[in-house]
Chains A and B, each alone.
Chain A
Amino acid sequence: MLIDSPHWISIIILLPILGAVASFLWRQHIVKIALTTATGTVISVGILSWQVISNGVQCYELGAWNAPLGIELYVDGLSVLMLLVTAVVGFAISIYASAYFEGNKSKHFWPLWLFLWSGLNALFVSSDIFNLFVTLEIIGLSAVALVALSGGAKAITAAMRYLLVSLLGSMLYLMGVALLYHSYGTVDMVLLSLRTEMNPAMWLIMGLMTVGLLLKTALFPLHFWLPAAHSSAPVPVSALLSALVVKASFYILWRLWIVVFPLDNDAQVGLGFILGVLGSLAIVWGGVKALQQTRLKLLIAYSTVMQIGYLFLAFPLASIMGWKAALYFILAHAIAKTAMFMVAGNILIHKGHDRIADLYSTVQHLPLTIVAFSLSGISLMGLPPSGGFVAKWLLLEAAIVSGQWWWGIVLLVGGLLTGAYVFKVLGYAFIQENSTNEPRPIGISKRMEWTALSMALFAIVLGFIAPFVLGIMDIGSPFTKGSL
């Protein structure tokens, strides 16, 4: 049967690359090719997910070489959810971008984006640390190029800084990979998990890899590059970066932390405490900075800094429930943040600016867009019913069960800060004023409004399908030591 074929794992990687090349070659049909590729990729990911959900973990050896030599691809519940969220966000962004970009920029956007998508898919199915490095580089380079797309001095500066940070992060990670290979003679995660042991060299390795990946994930205080990069990029790119790209490096760190690093439970809690503190600082700092912003896109970018902080609260808890909460945060944030950046894009085109204090009457002109903003805001705040609420609930429960209730307080403070900046925007959008010195608002395409709204609705729907999603997380028990 076609549907049972083992090749779907490689198809989800190859298809976007083929699409990228094709869209580069036949520019007159670029949007058609890109959207066809996007649809095809979503279907392939869907079939692969179906295989995993009904048959369990899927493995595939490229070129039929065995584990130590060849490239092994591996898909468990964690990978499936990351692939699925990438597919959902990726598809929505493709639809949105087909209305957003016009002319020249579109020419560069599509090949780069499809290339990036291929990198993301490859990353989520890789199970050796060198392969992960390669995919991380693919993602990093295409992301930098995408940031530079919008042109202008500001975007170029942001892109340059992003490039340097990204390279530095990859380099640190690569040093870790080299040291691991040197010490243990393999780059395969499963083999490493059997061989690694605590010694001074291991501390160095852990330090290098963690810092490198944190830099790419933009955890406070290594977030300095993120607001500029995410806010100066074109809107579909901002959405991609916030929703998916920062999660890619987080995903690697996560796998390393659970599988490769020889940490027992006490060490996980102890070292996790440092990450938890950094996460808490990210939440407070990101929230306060978001509240101070006068531009919508910057506000949303700082909100990402904050939401990344939530993910790290799971580390000191070191429990399966905590990890599941973190994963739910990833899903909910990816969907809601995509919707929110799309909202910012709609407002930008409609009003010609994104100054928060001048958003008056937006409710009247773009009701669907404001509804989308509110719904995605609800999820980010973690109010029920939404994906954000499920994540918050799980994390609160995990914190209280493990006796570390203070992380729960941080979580609630974060929710209130989010509420403050979400409603700051909504409050201005509800004001009715008639200003004459404002250029006439421009009508925007229905497709953009509806894509934003669909994503926001999906963030709410995530609040109702928790048992199903949490069930998928158990496949291959990715959060247990030595699972892979």
Chain B
Amino acid sequence: MNFDNWVPLLIVIIPLFIAVIIFALAEDKIKTRSTLNIGASVLSLGLVGIMLWGVSKGFHYETRFSFLPGLDFVLRADSLSMLFVTLSSALWLLTTVYAIGYLEGSPHRSRFFGFFSLCVAATLGVALAGNLITFLLFYELLTLAAYPLIVHRGTQKVRRSGRIYLMYTLTGGALLLLGTVLLYSITGTLEFVASGFLSTLDSSTHSLLILVFVLLVSGLGVKAAIVPLHGWLPQSMAAPAPVSALLHAVAVVKAGAFGIVRVIYDVFGIEFSVTLGLTLPLAIIAAITIIYASTRALFQDGLKARLAYSTVSQVSYIILGVAIAGPIAAVGGVVHLVHQGVTKITLFFCAGNLAETLGIHNISEMHGVGRRMPWTMTAFTIGALGMIGIPPLAGFITKWYIGLGALEAGHGWVLIVLVGSSLLNAAYFLPILYVAWFTEPKGDWPAEKKLGKYETSLLLLVPPLITALFVILLGLFASLSFSALAWSEFIISKEFLL
């Protein structure tokens, strides 16, 4: 065992360890807790940086030990996992800073940050899992660790949303488990392998494999909020803003989408999935999700509810891109893991700022808010335009690649979905921008608080500005060799054996 064998484990252990320390920490030790939190996320970001450099140089990072008879616990850094790990650990740092500001003075912060770190540990584990059983382990841990965050406020209402969340996710977990066991009984291995490990199996197993695929994808689809499995996501809006930000951008929802990408690429293999005829139905379901959720978003007055439906729609871009089964569309889908994360977290940070500073929860209360909080609304605007797909922002790159890839793969209908969805995106985001920038304020804000010297506390203001900057940079410099796009192309080149 050398250092390289320990890095993946370390990355998961650090937040786990921090979680335990924070649970034990007294409520009033704010300084210690904040230092620990930020220190840990900086440390693991550093480790991720080392690994990123190593993986691009072709080094091998893997932690492995025996877990069940015949099955190992494996954490491994491959190109796909590095994409997700980098995203998660970077956004972890920003969300931690934001959460420290957001929860200032509110009760039970030890508990909050403890479970928050646990969530991050689970997400990093999901990202680094080297086989399906390890993935399952962290995936279920994530389900559980997110629950206390959703019910953090402790009211009857959040208890209800917590219950709905669990009903959906635990059932999804059961389906995933069944699919995993079934797969294991057919193959005797669950290791993720670039371009899959099932294509060599005898054709008599194909009908069972289709069943496995349906079980796995519907289990994962619950978290990825594919229609009609999305019902829990708008419900969990009652959670505090940093939680929603984390849930929507990296943790729960994204873990589901990431899992689907993993299953298609590294379990079934994209070409074998096409052979089994699985990708087209999935693409159609994703397209329906995109259009349906965008339409629902149009009718939400609650800002966070509108953003939630927008998430449902945007996450399915990832699945759509992958399910089109052409290399170019796949690049668009995989890169959207990052683009959607950065963009959506910006929007949720801003929504949190409005709620925390001015008590605004609904779009109808946002008249003229651009003047009161120009920086927040600037970040929000960038995020919104990014979602719509205005060039040269990050969202545009995604849509461009998916559209191009769909044409290349002969799925012209996808273009209609893309255009329709962009129009719907515009229809539900532009009125917000209009109301915020171009109308007069209607008297007092619902619950204004004076936080710091600027429009709001700096801890709340800086994170969305940074992520908004990323939305611009990821789009503007997409062609550079270290961009998310270039990395996605690197991933896809392995899957399609180009």
Contacts of A430 in B (CB 8 A): 148, 151, 154, 159, 162
Residue of A nearest to B108 (CB): A364
- Which one of B67, B159, B166, B185 contacts A419 once the chains associate, using CB atoms below 8 Å? B166
Contacts of A416 in B (CB 8 A): 170-171, 174
**Top 9 nearest A-B pairs by Cβ distance?**
A432-B154, A384-B137, A396-B181, A412-B174, A400-B185, A419-B170, A383-B140, A427-B159, A467-B66
Determine whether A415 belongs to the interface, using a CB cutoff of 8 Å to chain B.
Answer: yes
Contacts of A408 in B (CB 8 A): 178, 181
C-beta contact mask, A398-440 vs B, less than 8 Å → 1, else 0?
0011000000110010011001000100111011100000000
- Which one of B68, B144, B156 contacts A466 once the chains associate, using CB atoms below 8 Å? B68
**Least Cβ distance of B185 to chain A in Å?**
4
Residue of A nearest to B27 (CB): A364
Interface residues of B in 117-139 (CB under 8 A from A): 133, 136-137
A384 touches B151 (CB 8 A): no
Given A384-B136, A430-B159, A466-B68, A412-B177 contact (CB < 8 Å): yes
Given A367-B23, A427-B163, A431-B156, A390-B68 contact (CB < 8 Å): yes
27 pairs from A and B in contact (CB 8 Å cutoff): A363-B111, A364-B108, A367-B23, A371-B23, A374-B144, A390-B68, A392-B177, A393-B177, A397-B181, A400-B185, A401-B185, A409-B178, A412-B174, A412-B178, A415-B170, A415-B174, A416-B170, A419-B166, A423-B162, A423-B166, A430-B154, A431-B155, A431-B159, A466-B67, A467-B66, A467-B69, A470-B69
Contacts of A466 in B (CB 8 A): 67-69
Contacts of A427 in B (CB 8 A): 151, 159, 162-163
**Least Cβ distance of A286 to chain B in Å?**
18
A423 touches B66 (CB 8 A): no
C-beta contact mask, B164-182 vs A, less than 8 Å → 1, else 0?
0010001101100110011
- Which one of B147, B181, B182 contacts A423 once the chains associate, using CB atoms below 8 Å? B147
A467 to B23, CA, bound (A): 31
Determine whether B141 belongs to the interface, using a CB cutoff of 8 Å to chain A.
Answer: yes
Contacts of A151 in B (CB 8 A): none
A374 to B184, CA, bound (A): 29
Contacts of A412 in B (CB 8 A): 174, 177-178
**Total interface residues on B, using CB and 8 Å?**
34
A430 to B166, CA, bound (A): 15
A100 to B296, CA, bound (A): 56
Using A374-B144, A393-B177 as known contacts, list a sample of 14 further A-B pairs with CB atoms less than 8 Å apart, ordered by residue number in A. Answer: A364-B108, A367-B23, A378-B144, A383-B144, A384-B137, A394-B68, A401-B185, A415-B170, A416-B170, A423-B147, A426-B147, A427-B163, A430-B154, A431-B159
Contacts of A423 in B (CB 8 A): 147, 162-163, 166
Contacts of B147 in A (CB 8 A): 423, 426
Determine whether A464 belongs to the interface, using a CB cutoff of 8 Å to chain B.
Answer: yes
Contacts of A464 in B (CB 8 A): 67
Residue of B nearest to A402 (CB): B185
A364 to B107, CA, bound (A): 10
Residue of B nearest to A470 (CB): B69
A464 to B111, CA, bound (A): 26
User: What interface size band does chain A fall in?
Assistant: 35 or more
**Least Cβ distance of A133 to chain B in Å?**
36
A408 to B177, CA, bound (A): 10
A470 to B70, CA, bound (A): 12
Contacts of B143 in A (CB 8 A): 383
A374 to B147, CA, bound (A): 11
Determine whether A385 belongs to the interface, using a CB cutoff of 8 Å to chain B.
Answer: yes
Given A400-B185, A416-B170, A467-B69, A384-B178 contact (CB < 8 Å): no
B contact set with A: CB distance below 8 Å: 23, 66-69, 108, 111, 133, 136-137, 140-141, 143-144, 147-148, 151, 154-156, 159, 162-163, 166, 170-171, 173-174, 177-178, 181-182, 184-185
**Least Cβ distance of B468 to chain A in Å?**
34
Contacts of A428 in B (CB 8 A): 159
Contacts of B182 in A (CB 8 A): 400
A281 to B441, CA, bound (A): 63
Contacts of B184 in A (CB 8 A): 397
A111 to B293, CA, bound (A): 66
Contacts of B163 in A (CB 8 A): 423, 427
Given A419-B166, A423-B163, A467-B66, A431-B141 contact (CB < 8 Å): no
Given A396-B181, A400-B182, A470-B69, A384-B141 contact (CB < 8 Å): yes
Residue of A nearest to B69 (CB): A470
A393 to B143, CA, bound (A): 19
Interface residues of A in 336-380 (CB under 8 A from B): 363-364, 367, 371, 374, 378
B173 touches A383 (CB 8 A): yes
A464 to B67, CA, bound (A): 6
Interface centre among B147, B148, B181 (most CB of A within 10 A): B181
A393 touches B178 (CB 8 A): no
A34 to B269, CA, bound (A): 61
Contacts of B151 in A (CB 8 A): 427, 430
**Least Cβ distance of B116 to chain A in Å?**
16
A391 to B147, CA, bound (A): 24
A381 to B170, CA, bound (A): 10
Given A423-B147, A430-B151, A470-B69, A397-B166 contact (CB < 8 Å): no
Contacts of B23 in A (CB 8 A): 367, 371
A432 to B243, CA, bound (A): 19
Contacts of B166 in A (CB 8 A): 419, 423
Contacts of A393 in B (CB 8 A): 68, 177, 181
A191 to B166, CA, bound (A): 53
**Least Cβ distance of A380 to chain B in Å?**
13
**Least Cβ distance of A327 to chain B in Å?**
13
Contacts of A467 in B (CB 8 A): 66-69
**Least Cβ distance of B303 to chain A in Å?**
26
A412 to B137, CA, bound (A): 16
Contacts of A378 in B (CB 8 A): 144
Residue of B nearest to A368 (CB): B23
Contacts of A426 in B (CB 8 A): 147
Contacts of A363 in B (CB 8 A): 111
A408 to B148, CA, bound (A): 29
Residue of B nearest to A385 (CB): B137
A365 to B156, CA, bound (A): 19
Interface centre among A378, A409, A423 (most CB of B within 10 A): A423
**Least Cβ distance of A317 to chain B in Å?**
13
A367 touches B111 (CB 8 A): yes
A374 to B159, CA, bound (A): 16
Contacts of B108 in A (CB 8 A): 364
A367 to B148, CA, bound (A): 13
Contacts of A383 in B (CB 8 A): 140, 143-144, 173
- Which one of A381, A400, A431 contacts B154 once the chains associate, using CB atoms below 8 Å? A431
A423 to B170, CA, bound (A): 11
Contacts of B148 in A (CB 8 A): 430
Contacts of A381 in B (CB 8 A): 170
Contacts of A432 in B (CB 8 A): 154-155
Contacts of B177 in A (CB 8 A): 392-393, 396, 412
Residue of B nearest to A382 (CB): B177
Contacts of B66 in A (CB 8 A): 467
Given A384-B136, A466-B69, A396-B144 contact (CB < 8 Å): no
Given A432-B154, A470-B69, A384-B140 contact (CB < 8 Å): yes
C-beta contact mask, A430-469 vs B, less than 8 Å → 1, else 0?
1110000000000000000000000000000000101100
**Least Cβ distance of A411 to chain B in Å?**
9
A367 to B24, CA, bound (A): 10
